[in-house]
């Protein structure tokens, strides 16, 4: 592979994302979670009552895939769903006490991964890269 290709920003970004995802999956395995399952628990914690459609969007997966993730997390009693009192067809998702505990422990594992990833990066570089990535996101979502 040419060094010109391997130095392209998009390729480097994808490699970083893949390395992060791989390490997160390794760490989350101890809690019998995948990165998408962790993302769902985290999102439900931040937005109790969130719908499946909104969860799918936040976790970057299809609503059909979200159904499987939700079913798995419900079977493990990490999530529970109840009908929205205002819209009977919408199910509101909430963490159970077990889900809160699992998420708390999984958060510690993810924070260790993030600390490892950022280990030799200065705070000013971290802020600059974060700002650059947010600008990239804005540029790509303005369409």
- Tokens (6 digits) for 113: 């991964």
Q: Residue 38: which of 24, 52, 51, 19 has the closest Cα?
A: 24
Give the lowest-confidence range in 70-74, 81-85, 92-96, 119-123: 81-85
96-105 confidence digits (pLDDT tens): 999 999 999 9
With 90 as the cut, is the pLDDT of residue 60 above it? no
At residue 2, the pLDDT reads 61
CB atoms within 10 A of CB 33: 26
Report pTM.
0.85
Model confidence band, residue 59 (pLDDT cutoffs 50, 70, 90): confident
User: Mind listing the domains of the chain with CATH numbers?
Assistant: 3-141 (1.10.10.10)
């Amino acid at each position: 592979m040419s060094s010109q290709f391997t130095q392209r920003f998009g390729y480097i970004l994808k490699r970083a994302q893949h390395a992060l995802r791989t390490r997160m999956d390794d760490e989350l395995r101890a809690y019998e979670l995948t990165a998408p399952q962790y993302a769902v628990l985290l999102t439900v914690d931040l937005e109790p009552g969130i719908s499946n459609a909104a969860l799918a969007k936040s976790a970057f997966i299809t609503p059909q895939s979200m159904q499987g993730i939700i079913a798995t997390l419900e079977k493990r009693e990490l999530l529970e769903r109840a009908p929205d009192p205002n819209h009977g067809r919408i199910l509101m998702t909430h963490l159970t006490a077990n889900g809160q505990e699992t998420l708390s422990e999984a958060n510690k594992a993810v924070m260790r991964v993030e600390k490892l990833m950022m280990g030799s990066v200065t705070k000013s570089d971290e802020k600059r890269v974060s700002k650059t990535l947010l600008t990239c996101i804005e540029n790509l979502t303005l369409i």
